């Protein structure tokens, strides 16, 4: 590069004969780069302050709103020169703080260029960013053809190139493809047989309908959307939560439930961003806000909110807002202040855990959800993204980026009592009372026990302590009841009109609460005395320094406990009306900003939302997206060749109530989806003109996702537990607990090794999975506890089945076994050469295993399922294991 520059300079030096004194300034290599560094940020396609653009010759000549900025041949008359040389800082360009002034040499250069006539070549005008394709409304193309419109749009591109789409896939291949695509599991053998023998013209469509109706659909596509929406269980150090939240699995279950119910995608967005504002009392929908609760980050609120902005933008709009955190976006028309306006929308929100029925301890179970904790919190623009640099006088207003259009209208939300004071809900007060009852019953029982056993085992001090504990449980129950009554009277006066007045209830609650504190101090004293007694006995039995020190320490504890009791008793004697609430009280209103954002995102006028979603769905049916950068539809991404198709899908999605199942059905019933993924040999036009299959003249074969690989192993072995939902399962149990993979803990540094090796989603960000082929995957399939155990189970099951159906014993039943194994594991029959190989293998392997004395043991651990003692059966187990390692087991063709 350097060389080229030098060469250009040299040529200029020696060729400008007419200007011997000073060389001619070159616009392209000297002027334009300078303008680019110093002026383009505000005067180009990206921004046009004062309507001035300096990014094309004709526009430079056109000038600004104030008129021409250069007078060719006369630098000193040119406004541009006056501006860059202004001594008045309010006049100078670039403005103070937005860029360094031009150096003397740079000024001279521009002056010379203008004096020499400001020569510029004709240049194309870079188009305005607002004209970018993805910022324009999707356009529906009406087509005359009666077939699936997808095929029409593809043919429209392929036909002029002379590319013939390939043939339909083999029916067994198709059934496996569609079954995995919609449920994440393979077809069963009987489903395979039924489909292969169903000649009716709508056999495939029927299968599609059945698959879409199965609950496994929600699990399969739930995991896809969990990638995009960044599902992460909590993570941290020991018990300390640093990322995400406990019980976030409720959000995962909401995703699965919503997909199975075919809830509109628009509705899902509203619930994820603002269920607390739109459906404040609906616990079912509140689960959705896990989308935002998941961003909780212990150490840095700025990082937390940056993540929220970045990924809300990428997931729903395909926009990379993050670039605008420190400066105006380099590529997209998003200014830095617009970034902070977006942040203002999220500034008030925080995460809380509400109680769920049956559990008062939110650590053990609860609903992690969001709410506006600080409705008045202000957002400032951080200069250069530095949280230390901001102007306190200039808080930002909540808003959305201009370039995306639409209306953003905020209506504050007034919340009901139960929404901002969730502990007052009936089930919570019931649970609190029940817990107090249970504690009392337990204390009574303990007391009964010590009273009815011998004195020797239970000296008096133990009985006294147990009595005091019972008294405490009694007092706790009383005070809980009193506090509940007082709180209900205070907040629900109309419900309890015949009860004593508030003041009286409040002072009773206060009194009983203090009495409970006295009872607690009493227990502490009795406990200290009991310990002292024990210490005294010990000192008597084994006199010495150690035991006497223990006596002294116990005495000191008794003294402290006595003082505490005195204090508590004194405090209890004082009249008061204050007591603890039943749980936290939150702000009684919400700003409504997030709901406004959600409504703006799902507005049909938003040109991005439906396109981005349709693109994600297409990607997961074809292994390649229509817009390949699925998380960036901004200016860096050029209009896709198949824009008509994308727009058609986006409009279909919106017009059919944002039904995803509708879009799936439309896509998978296209001829394109059903094509074979293999290509006949030879130089077809397709290979020459579209080698990378960007126009979908064939299907793509795909490496299956990690979860599909693991689930399929369990499913074909009839081990997969079909129970859905519930708390996340320990990721270390993945080899032995036969639940579907999406139910296992998945967080940074807490994810199942097996899944990680097959490119499981990075919980931080995964809009599009990798499909690696690594030697480590070999071991996960050939050595792991999972594959060894399941291959043994499946082999046993198939052998049993063969016995029961009494097939003719071809080749000792091996042929039948191999067929059954192929159909079960690979969802297809073996071809002759495969059958031959497997037969030979079974014979040799059985023979080898018949004489184990000649063999060396390799594994060191035993498996939950032992290998069969019969060498022949053990060979069959190995055959199943081999099929789990078959390329086509992990491949969707």
Partner 1 sequence: MGQSHERKAMTKISSTSLGRRTFLSDMGMGFTGLALGSLLAEEASAQGERSGIPHRVPKAKSVIWLFMAGGVSHMEGFDPKPELNRYGGKTLADTSLKDVYSDPFVQENFRPFIGDNERSFRKKIFPLQIGHRKRGESGAEVSDWWPHVGECVDDIAVVRSMWTTDNDHGAQLQFHTGRHISDGYFPTIGSWVHYGLGTLNENLPQFVVMGNPIGECCGGTQVHLANYLGAEHDGVMLSASDPLPFGKPAGLVYRQEQAANFDLVRRLNGLTAVEYPEDAAVRARIKSYELGFRMQMSVPDIFDTKSETQQTLDSYGDGFGRQLLAARRFVERGVRFVQVYHGGGGAGSWDAHTNLKTNHERNCKAVDKPIATLLKDLKQRGLLDETLVVWATEFGRTPGSEGETGRDHHPFGFSCWLAGGGIKRGVVHGATDELGILAVENRHYVTDIHATVLHQLGLDSRALEVPGRKRLDIDHGHPIHDIIA
Compute CA distances 270 → 232, 310, 415, 632, 660, whole Å: 20, 18, 17, 22, 16
Under 8 Å between Cβ of 765 and 230 = yes
- Shortest distance in whole angstroms from residue 546 CB to partner 1: 41
Rounded distance, CA 797 to CA 716, Å?
10
- Work out whether strand 702-703 and strand 589-590 pair parallel, antiparallel, or are unpaired: unpaired
589, 700, 801, 829: which one binds partner 1 (CB under 8 A): 700
Tell me how many residues contact partner 1 (CB under 8 A): 103
Rounded distance, CA 893 to CA 673, Å?
11
202, 636, 722, 803: which one binds partner 1 (CB under 8 A): 636
Under 8 Å between Cβ of 696 and 679 = no
Compute CA distances 511 → 386, 501, 525, 572, whole Å: 52, 16, 21, 7
Exposed, middle or buried, 576 (CB in 10 Å: 0-12/13-18/19+)?
Answer: middle
- Shortest distance in whole angstroms from residue 845 CB to partner 1: 5
406, 785, 796, 813: which one binds partner 1 (CB under 8 A): 785
DSSP for 548-600, please give it: HHHHHHHHHHHHHHHHHHHHHHHHHHS-------SS----SEE--HHHHHHHH
Under 8 Å between Cβ of 591 and 372 = yes
Q: Build a one-symbol-per-residue string for 826-865: x at contacts with partner 1 by CB under 8 A, - elsewhere.
A: -----x-xx--xx--x--xx--xx--x-xxxxxxxxxx-x
For position 563 contacting partner 1 by CB under 8 A, the verdict is no
44, 289, 335, 693: which one binds partner 1 (CB under 8 A): 693
55, 266, 277, 328: which one binds partner 1 (CB under 8 A): 328
- Shortest distance in whole angstroms from residue 883 CB to partner 1: 8
Nearest to 513 by CA among 534, 545, 544, 484: 484
Q: How many CB atoms lie within 10 A of CB 208?
A: 20
- Residue with smaller CB distance to partner 1, 99 or 604: 99
Q: Build a one-symbol-per-residue string for 201-240: x at contacts with partner 1 by CB under 8 A, - elsewhere.
A: ----------------------------------------
Residues 95-154 that bind partner 1 (CB under 8 A): 99-100, 103, 105-106
Residues 169-198 that bind partner 1 (CB under 8 A): none
The encoded tokens of residue 818 equal 């191999």
Per-residue DSSP letter, 544: S
In sequence order, which residues have a C-beta less than 8 Å from that of residue 766 and are 6 or more positions away? 227, 228, 230
Rounded distance, CA 392 to CA 380, Å?
7
Compute CA distances 276 → 122, 266, 357, 594, whole Å: 57, 16, 19, 9
384, 451, 546, 567: which one binds partner 1 (CB under 8 A): 384
The residue range among 216-224, 453-461, 511-519, 756-764 that interacts with partner 1, by the rule CB under 8 A, is 756-764
762, 801, 807, 843: which one binds partner 1 (CB under 8 A): 762
Place of tokens 């039904």: 659
- Residue with smaller CB distance to partner 1, 623 or 725: 623
- Shortest distance in whole angstroms from residue 575 CB to partner 1: 57
Residues 711-740 that bind partner 1 (CB under 8 A): 735
775, 800, 804, 808: which one binds partner 1 (CB under 8 A): 775
Element (H, E) at 707: helix 706-716
The encoded tokens of residue 660 equal 């995803």
- Residue with smaller CB distance to partner 1, 76 or 783: 783
216, 631, 814, 823: which one binds partner 1 (CB under 8 A): 631
Residues 597-626 that bind partner 1 (CB under 8 A): 619, 623-625
Residues 18-57 that bind partner 1 (CB under 8 A): 29-30, 33-34, 37, 41
- Residue with smaller CB distance to partner 1, 329 or 352: 329
The residue range among 80-88, 202-210, 327-335, 401-409 that interacts with partner 1, by the rule CB under 8 A, is 327-335
């Amino acid at each position: 590069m350097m060389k080229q520059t030098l060469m250009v300079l040299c040529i200029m030096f020696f060729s400008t004969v007419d200007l011997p004194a000073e060389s001619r300034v070159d616009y392209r290599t000297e002027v334009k780069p300078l303008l680019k560094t110093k002026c383009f940020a505000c005067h180009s396609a990206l921004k046009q302050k004062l309507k001035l653009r300096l990014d094309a010759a004709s526009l430079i000549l056109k000038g600004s709103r104030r008129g021409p900025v250069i007078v060719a041949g006369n630098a000193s008359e040119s406004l541009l020169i006056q501006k860059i040389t202004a001594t008045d800082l309010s006049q100078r360009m670039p403005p103070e703080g937005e860029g360094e002034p031009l150096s003397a040499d740079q000024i001279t250069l521009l002056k010379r260029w203008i004096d020499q006539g400001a020569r510029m070549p004709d240049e194309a005008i870079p188009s305005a960013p607002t004209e970018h394709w993805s910022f324009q409304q999707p356009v529906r193309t009406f087509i005359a053809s009666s077939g699936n419109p997808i095929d029409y749009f593809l043919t429209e591109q392929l036909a002029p190139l002379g590319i013939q789409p390939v043939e339909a896939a083999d029916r067994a291949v198709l059934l496996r493809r569609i079954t995995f695509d919609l449920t994440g599991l393979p077809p069963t053998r009987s489903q395979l047989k039924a489909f292969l023998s169903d000649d009716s013209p709508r056999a495939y469509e029927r299968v599609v309908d059945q698959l879409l109706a199965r609950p496994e659909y929600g699990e399969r596509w739930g995991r896809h959307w969990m990638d995009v929406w960044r599902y992460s269980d909590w993570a941290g150090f020991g018990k300390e939560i640093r990322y995400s939240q406990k019980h976030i699995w409720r959000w995962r279950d909401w995703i699965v439930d919503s997909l199975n119910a075919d809830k509109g995608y628009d509705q899902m967005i509203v619930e994820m961003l603002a269920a607390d504002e739109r459906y404040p009392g609906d616990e079912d929908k509140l689960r959705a806000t896990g989308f935002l609760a998941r961003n909780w980050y212990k150490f840095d609120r700025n990082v937390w909110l940056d993540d929220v902005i970045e990924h809300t933008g990428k997931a729903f709009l395909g926009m990379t807002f993050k670039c605008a955190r420190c400066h105006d976006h380099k590529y997209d028309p998003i200014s830095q202040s617009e970034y902070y306006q977006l942040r203002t929308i999220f500034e008030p929100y925080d995460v809380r855990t509400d109680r769920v029925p049956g559990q008062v301890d939110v650590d053990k179970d609860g609903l992690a959800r969001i709410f506006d904790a600080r409705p008045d919190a202000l957002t400032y623009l951080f200069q250069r993204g530095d949280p230390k640099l901001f102007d306190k006088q200039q808080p930002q207003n909540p808003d959305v980026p201009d370039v995306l259009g639409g209306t953003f209208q905020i209506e504050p939300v007034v919340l009901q009592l139960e929404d901002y004071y969730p502990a007052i809900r009936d089930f919570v007060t019931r649970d609190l009372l029940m817990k107090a009852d249970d504690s009392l019953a337990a204390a009574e029982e303990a007391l009964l026990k010590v009273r009815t056993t011998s004195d020797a085992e239970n000296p008096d001090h133990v009985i006294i302590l147990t009595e005091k504990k019972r008294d405490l449980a009694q007092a706790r129950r009383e005070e809980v009841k009193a506090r509940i009554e007082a709180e209900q009277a205070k907040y629900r006066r109309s419900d309890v009109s015949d009860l004593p007045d508030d003041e009286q209830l409040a002072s009773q609650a206060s009194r009983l609460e203090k009495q409970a504190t006295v009872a607690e101090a009493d227990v502490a004293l009795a406990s200290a005395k009991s310990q002292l007694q024990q210490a005294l006995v010990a000192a008597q039995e084994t006199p010495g320094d150690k035991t006497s020190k223990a006596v002294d320490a116990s005495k000191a504890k008794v003294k402290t406990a006595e003082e505490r009791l005195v204090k508590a008793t004194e405090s209890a004697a004082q009249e008061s009306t204050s007591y603890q609430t039943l749980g936290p009280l939150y702000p009684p209103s919400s700003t409504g900003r997030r709901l406004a954002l959600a409504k703006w995102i799902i507005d049909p006028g938003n040109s991005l939302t439906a396109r981005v979603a349709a693109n994600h769905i297409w990607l997961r049916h074809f292994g390649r997206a229509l817009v390949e950068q699925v998380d960036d539809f901004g200016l860096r991404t050029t209009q896709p060749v198949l824009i008509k198709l994308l727009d058609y899908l986006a409009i279909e999605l919106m017009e059919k109530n944002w039904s995803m199942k509708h879009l799936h059905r439309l896509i998978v019933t296209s001829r394109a989806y059903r094509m074979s993924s293999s290509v006949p040999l030879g130089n077809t036009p397709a290979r020459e003109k579209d080698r990378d299959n960007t126009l979908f003249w064939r299907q793509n074969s795909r490496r299956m996702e990690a979860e599909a690989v693991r689930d399929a192993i369990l499913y074909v072995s009839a081990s997969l537990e079909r129970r859905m939902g519930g708390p996340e399962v320990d990721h270390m149990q993945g080899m032995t607990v036969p639940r579907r993979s999406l139910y296992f803990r998945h967080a940074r540094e807490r994810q199942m090794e097996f899944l990680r090796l097959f490119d499981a989603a990075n919980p931080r960000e995964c809009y599009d999975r990798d499909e690696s082929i690594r030697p480590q995957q070999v071991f996960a399939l050939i050595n792991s506890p999972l594959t060894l155990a399941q291959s043994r189970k499946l082999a046993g099951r198939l052998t049993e089945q063969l016995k029961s159906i009494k097939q003719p014993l071809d080749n000792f039943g091996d042929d039948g076994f191999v067929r059954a194994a192929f159909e079960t594991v690979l969802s297809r029959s073996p071809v002759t050469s495969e059958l031959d190989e497997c037969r030979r293998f079974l014979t040799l392997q059985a023979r080898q295993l018949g004489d184990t004395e000649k063999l060396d043991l390799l594994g060191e651990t035993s498996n939950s399922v032992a290998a069969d003692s019969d060498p022949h059966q053990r060979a069959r187990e190995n055959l199943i294991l081999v099929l789990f390692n078959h390329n086509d087991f992990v491949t969707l063709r």
